[in-house]
């Protein structure tokens, strides 16, 4: 599958606002790929990500990197003594003391100076190269589905290694290249101060080799789970009676099934976590019926899953004084 096709699947299934960004760290001796431009001024790696998500393809050798911290973390240049010591973090008042700064620096992922010769970024759909990682700028709900796609494929939960420091360089590029696992970042001081990433946006970075598996999972999730969640199909009706503190109630939930609408498909019975429903033969047709009294947890799963809108839940509460 071409990068343009891969990008389109992510765009359509997640409803992306921004293009996924292909990132490659160039090995010594590699030539710049076709279709990329070297900017005339220096920019930060986080700024390059923001520019690439909007359609720009950029080649950044060390002379075009504006952030010495990010360039050193990615192995393009040596780390400056002030940055290596942690002194600047104290001057910026980003950390309380030198001990804390040194601990953060030692624990963050970074490449040795000279490991790479340049960075390249591009919208994934236009990348004429094989990226090391692909960085998504997402709303939290979109990030959730990307995580769900990973779990769909493996059954495993995500364990992220992140920080509020050195986000796009350390957390999204180096960490993902070395671990070959998805990682998340909420941005950092530099990324938030020098790029247009919005307050409600987060980054998720994925190893390029994992995209094909995530695509297949997202295609499956988009058949049912994603559209259902986005339609908020389990929203209960607005409650007009509430209990006061200390009051007790006994709730009974009446499950009302419209026999005319019911198609007997059995989805309500299959999805009911409390096994309240079953499908029986009524004449020459199958219909859903309530199989037991009491026990309905009022989760609205049967209501949301019924394609014929044949089920309603009617809670009955003995609220003292009629709830008044």
- H or E segment and range at residue 30: none
Domain residue ranges of the chain, discontinuous segments joined by +: 3-228, 251-323
Which of 87-101, 148-162, 281-295, 304-318 ranks highest by mean pLDDT?
148-162
Convert the pLDDT of each residue in 125-135 to its tens digit.
Answer: 999 999 999 99
Q: What is the pLDDT of residue 324?
A: 44
The number of residues making up the chain comes to 324
> What pLDDT is stored for residue 323 in this prediction?
45
105 with 87: CB under 8 angstroms?
A: no
The phi and psi torsions of 236 (rounded to 5 degrees) equal -75, 165
Q: Does domain 251-323 bear CATH number 3.30.70.20?
A: yes
Q: What is the pLDDT of residues 234-250, one digit of tens each?
A: 877 655 555 556 555 56
- The β-bridge partners of 312 are 256
Task: Residue 272: name the closest of 288, 259, 251 by CA.
Answer: 288
Asked whether 69 and 166 are in contact (CB, 8 A), the reply is yes
Average pLDDT over residues 201-210: 98
Stretch 259-279: mean pLDDT, rounded? Answer: 93
pLDDT at 92: 87
Please count the CA atoms within 13 angstroms of the CA of 309 that sit on its side-chain side.
1
pLDDT of residue 242: 54
**Rounded CA gap, 185 and 201, in Å?**
10
pTM, full prediction:
0.84
Within its chain, how far is the Cα of 216 from the centroid? 16
User: What residues have CB less than 8 Å from 90, skipping those under 6 apart?
Assistant: 96, 97, 98, 101
Angle among Cα 233, 237, 240 to the nearest 5 degrees reads: 160
Asked if 145 and 135 touch (Cβ cutoff 8 Å), the reply is no
Name the band, by pLDDT with cuts 50, 70 and 90, for residue 322: very low
Residue 252 — very low, low, confident or very high, per pLDDT cuts 50/70/90? Answer: confident
Q: Is the pLDDT of residue 94 over 70?
A: yes
Q: Which pLDDT does position 210 carry in this prediction?
A: 97
Write the DSSP assignment of 114-178 as a string of letters.
TS-SEEEEEEGGG--S--SEEEEEE-HHHHHHHHHHHHHHHSPPP-----SSSIIIIIIIIHHHH
* pLDDT tens-digit map of 57-70: 999 999 999 999 99
């Amino acid at each position: 599958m071409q990068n343009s096709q891969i990008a389109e699947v992510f765009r359509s299934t997640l409803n992306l606002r921004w293009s996924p960004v292909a990132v490659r760290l160039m090995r010594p001796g590699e030539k710049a790929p076709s279709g990329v431009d070297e900017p005339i001024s220096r920019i930060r790696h986080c700024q390059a990500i923001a520019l690439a998500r909007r359609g720009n393809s950029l080649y950044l050798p060390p002379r075009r990197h504006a952030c010495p911290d990010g360039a050193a973390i990615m192995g393009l240049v040596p780390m400056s003594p002030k940055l290596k010591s942690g002194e600047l973090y104290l001057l910026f008042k980003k950390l309380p003391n030198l001990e804390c700064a040194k601990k953060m620096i030692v624990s963050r992922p970074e490449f040795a100076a000279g490991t790479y010769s340049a960075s390249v970024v591009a919208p994934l759909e236009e990348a004429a190269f094989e990226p090391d990682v692909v960085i998504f700028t997402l709303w939290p709900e979109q990030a959730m589905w990307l995580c769900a796609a990973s779990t769909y494929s493996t059954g495993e939960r995500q364990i992220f290694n992140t920080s509020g420091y050195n986000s796009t360089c350390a957390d999204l590029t180096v960490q993902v290249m070395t671990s070959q696992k998805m990682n998340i970042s909420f941005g950092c001081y530099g990324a938030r101060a020098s790029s247009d990433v919005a307050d409600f946006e987060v980054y998720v970075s994925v190893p390029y080799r994992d995209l094909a598996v995530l695509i297949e999972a997202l295609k499956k999730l988009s058949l049912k789970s994603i559209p259902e969640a986005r339609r908020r199909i389990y929203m209960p009706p607005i409650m007009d009676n509430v209990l006061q503190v200390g009051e007790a109630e006994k709730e009974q939930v009446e499950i009302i099934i419209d026999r005319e609408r019911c198609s007997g498909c059995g989805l309500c019975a299959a999805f009911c976590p409390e096994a309240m429903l079953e499908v029986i033969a009524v004449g020459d047709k199958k219909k859903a019926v309530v199989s037991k009294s009491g026990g309905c947890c009022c989760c609205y799963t049967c209501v949301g899953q019924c394609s014929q809108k044949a089920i309603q839940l009617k809670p009955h509460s003995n609220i003292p004084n009629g709830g008044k």
